[in-house]
Amino acid sequence: MSDSHLTLPIHAVAEQIVTGLATHGRIVLSAPTGSGKSTQVPQILIDAAQVQGDVVVLQPRRLAARLLAKRVAQERGCKLGEEVGYQIRFENVVGPNTRIRFVTEAILLRQILQDPTLKGVGAVVFDEFHERHLTSDLSISCALKSVQTVRPDLKIVVMSATLDVDLLEGYLQPCARVEASGRMYPVETRYLGAALNRDAAPVWSRAAAAFRAAVREGIEGDMLIFMPGAFEIRKTIEAVQAMPESRGYEVLPLHGELSPDAQDRAVSSGARRKVIVSTNVAETSITIEGVRVVIDGGQARIARYDARRGVNSILVEPISRASAEQRTGRAGRTGPGTCLRLWSEAEHAARAERDEAEVKRVDLSETLLLLAAAGISQPETFAWFELPEPKALARAHDLLLDLGALNAAGAITAMGRKMAGFPLHPRYARMLLEADRRGVLPEVALIAGLSQGRSFYRVSRDARVRKEQLRQVEDQADQRSDFFVQLQAWHLARAAKFNANACGALGIHGGSARQAGDTARQLLQLAQRQGLDTREAALPDEAERIAKCLLAGFSDHLAKRNDTGTRRCRMVHGRSGELRRESVVDAPLFVAAEIEEREVRREVTVLLGMATAVEFAWLEELFPDDFSDGNQTTYDPSLRRVVARSERRFRDLVLSSTDQGEPDLDRAAELLAAEVVAGRLNLKGWDAVVENWILRVNFVARHCPDAEVPEIDDEEARQLLVEQICHGALSYKEIKDRPVLATVKEWISPEQHYYIDTYAPAEMELPRRRNPARIRYEADGRAFIASKLQDFYDVPGSSLIVGNGKVQLLVELLAPNQRPAHLTDDLDGFWAGAYQHVRKDLAGRYPKHEWR
């Protein structure tokens, strides 16, 4: 190490780090921004001869991995790829003598799953662990398992500026706990939400306004502006450069998709003052010297499961308070700084304290596939750092089963092993493999690219634009898939060189179309590395081949129209939905790449979009093991009757059926009863009288167990009763008017009816009332009697008892207008106490009534 770095705060705890590893083999290091942990800890481990083998440093981001490796190599006076190197997707800059290797999380995860011994690795350093990426959670679980089983000498270091140290210390026990101080200057934080009229201007305009204000105020130093993505960065740079205040500043972007040279320009020192507009890659790990002003847009792109598309999506969301503090600290590294937050202080207080762990918010199918490839076929037994939701695990397992990646026992298939070789969502890995087999990889890669970002082509409401869409896009596209419409739109956009005006005339967003093409190229590069054939070939049945690839990726979204005149459909996994009206597909059988739930007037409608027509024979070709044949007795909701049919099913979706005569009457009664209990069919005779009788039975069963009266308190009991009522019938028409009460009363023996009438009487005589008062029984075991207050004069409270003398009736004393005036379970106490207040109130309003 060069002498210039010996003054970093992390060196004050270097001995604790070395001693902790020597004693326990693992440490949790809490070290704030500016302490030097990311660059110095790997060197401390190497220089102390504490580690036998390489030091692998996990970084959440590719940009940080490369820049940190470059910095450490400079400090150690070597070239990148010699003693210090890095390994990220598509780049491997390491050599035979590399001792310190900075890698992204997925690289290590795949390595440790393939080789749990981590041959040649002496220590694993988890940097910025607070970001809680799914891959880092899995990697630390796998590393700990390796230590406990095959590599007891492997050292583990977990570090961050904002760690939940107690949680990690408990997970890694036994381990050492080390806390380092930082080297920070004070940073003044200001909230500009209200002043910059947050609701009126896009975030880049507000950031440019904040930049202008900072320059006019004379704040010194370079500026760092945080934006959620490359699009917002470009718009911010344009807005800043349009201002006269930007003269004298070099305005530079910083994000993971830039070339290494462009990234280096942004983070290196220069003669001119700089404005760096960055994603959250600059939030941690990377030090940008000279930054004295941070302008924080307060947003980031967050991975989250998108139920509409059945994959993970990147959504722009507000950052947490912890992330905001990390960003603020970037302004106080070399001197006092200023942080301008483009939201209000009240909004800040309402934000989440920390970022939610990815394991709680993303689709787990790719993770489960990697685990299965490593021989872990029961993920619920895996030692997760934080357990995922059982529902998320089940959803991921079902998808992998549908894609053919797992078998019924949860073990990986040959297809699954090929899919696991792609660092992609399993849907798209499956589609690319199918496309390679069918010779249509470039077009399917483009479809996958179109699906990753925001939609670039939509039906326009402008009549003139809509006319051109129909003429140039939709009428020219193959009508077998909505994706073919998207492909036609993309090819038109490319022909127009993605020009905004030319694309806009067709309702196409040129920038998004260009981005989709870039993504497709990356996917093709990835496929080529996996040995797939990426050459373009003109095939006469190309559209059919592409449609089969879409079926392979979305077979769990298979839908069958209820009939030719409707867009309503039944789907696999017992779901139903409605094909969107803008879809060009008019086929009885299709797969939908998008599923969206909408609630209208308290009813949930499932809308199916991006449809592709499929044929019955394709299902048999791609998924021959997913068919079943058999005779089924089912309830047909359209006919409202039970039918016996011979059915051909794909998974649980009935594709074809033929009638097989009269159904079994016992099974028919069971199915009709299930519809009644679920509330979809209504028995007219099942009225309030029946419900009241059931409540009386349950009251006696609860309070008088000696009577041995069985309860009717659950769905199963009601199902059995309704089955008796329905027996012998096949349709709703036959059961809707059937008598109910007599059958329900048969639930108990004739002798037990005495107990119902005696212990839970339906009514009770009151001396001053002409007719008996009804007793109301509740499901919770209480019983009420209600009547006018005057009806209870001279009625002793001890007489208002039911349940064989065990249950005191709750008395509802009604005012002359029949509304409750008082409720009591102690009538005698009421006359002696509360009655005086009730009488005073009611006598004034109803003077003609008797008031004692």
Answer whether 70's CB lies under 8 Å from 137's CB: no
Contacts of 419 (CB under 8 A, 6+ apart): 369, 403, 405, 426, 429, 430, 433
> Which helix (H) or strand (E) element contains residue 3?
none
- Give, as one character, the DSSP assignment of residue 52: S
DSSP 423-492: SS-HHHHHHHHHHHHHT-HHHHHHHHHHHHS---B---SSHHHHHHIIIIIITTS-TTBHHHHHHHHHHH
The one-letter code for the residue type at 848 is K
**Which residue intervals of 530-588 are DSSP H helices?**
542-553
User: Which residues of the chain carry a pLDDT beneath 50?
Assistant: 1-5, 195-198
**What value, to the nearest 5°, has the Cα angle with vertex 436 and ends 431 and 439?**
115
| Phi, psi angles (nearest 5°) of residue 287 | -100, 125
Report the alpha-carbon distance of residue 129 to residue 358 in Å, rounded.
12
Q: Measuring CA to CA, how many Å separate 163 from each of 130, 166, 178, 477, 490? A: 5, 9, 12, 53, 45
From CA 819, how far away is CA 364, in angstroms rounded? 57
Q: Is 465 exposed, middle or buried (0-12, 13-18, 19+ CB in 10 A)?
A: middle
CB-based burial label for 135 (10 Å; 0-12, 13-18, 19+): buried
Name the phi and psi angles at 746, rounded to 5.
Answer: -75, -5
For residue 456 the two structure tokens come to: 């670039």
Instruction: Give the contacts of 601 (CB within 8 A, at least 6 positions apart).
Output: none
What three-state secondary structure class fits 63? helix
Q: What distance in Å separates the CA atoms of residue 146 and residue 24, rounded to the nearest whole number?
A: 15
3 state SS of 18: helix
Q: Which helix (H) or strand (E) holds 354?
A: none
Contacts of 53 (CB under 8 A, 6+ apart): 120, 121, 122, 123
d(CA 735, CA 669): 10
Which among 125, 156, 121 is positioned nearest to 60, based on CA atoms?
125
- Return the half-sphere exposure (C-beta side, CA atoms, 13 A cut-off) of residue 773: 25
Looking at residue 794, its amino acid is D
Report pLDDT for 526. 84
- Reduce the DSSP state of residue 108 to 3 states and report it: helix
- Outline where DSSP puts E strands in 147-283: 155-160, 176-179, 187-191, 222-226, 249-254, 273-278
CA-nearest of 806, 799, 812 to 781 is: 806
Return the CA Rg of the chain: 36
Which long-range contacts link 815-821 to residues 24+ away (Cβ below 8 Å)? Answer: 815/788, 815/789, 815/842, 815/845, 815/846, 816/788, 816/842, 816/846, 816/849, 818/788, 820/786, 821/789
Q: What is the pTM of this model?
A: 0.67
Nearest to 303 by CA among 456, 134, 162: 134
Residue whose tokens read 């207050």: 789
The torsion angles phi and psi of 783, rounded to 5 degrees, stand at: -135, 140
Distances (CA, A) of 333 to 182, 288, 325, 561, 648: 10, 9, 13, 63, 69
Burial tier of 152 (Cβ tally within 10 Å: 0-12, 13-18, 19+): exposed
Cα–Cα distance for residue pair 143/154, rounded to 1 Å: 8
Please, are residues 435 and 444 in contact by the beta-carbon 8 Å criterion? yes
**3-class SS string, 151-191:** CCCCEEEEEECCCCHHHHHHHHCCCEEEECCCCCCCEEEEE
Distance (Å, whole) CA 69 – CA 100: 8
Parallel, antiparallel or unpaired: strands 187-191 and 155-160: unpaired
Nearest to 400 by CA among 386, 378, 375, 419: 419
Q: How far apart, in whole angstroms, are the C-alpha atoms of residue 61 and residue 754?
A: 77
Report helix angle 482-495 to 510-529, nearest 10.
Answer: 100
Of 330, 383, 313, 326, the C-alpha closest to 355 is: 326
Instruction: State which amino acid sits at residue 288.
Output: I
Q: What integer pLDDT is reported at residue 397 of this predicted model?
A: 93
Model pLDDT, residue 714: 75
3-state secondary structure of 497: coil
Distance in angstroms (rounded) separating the CA atoms of residues 15 and 21 = 10
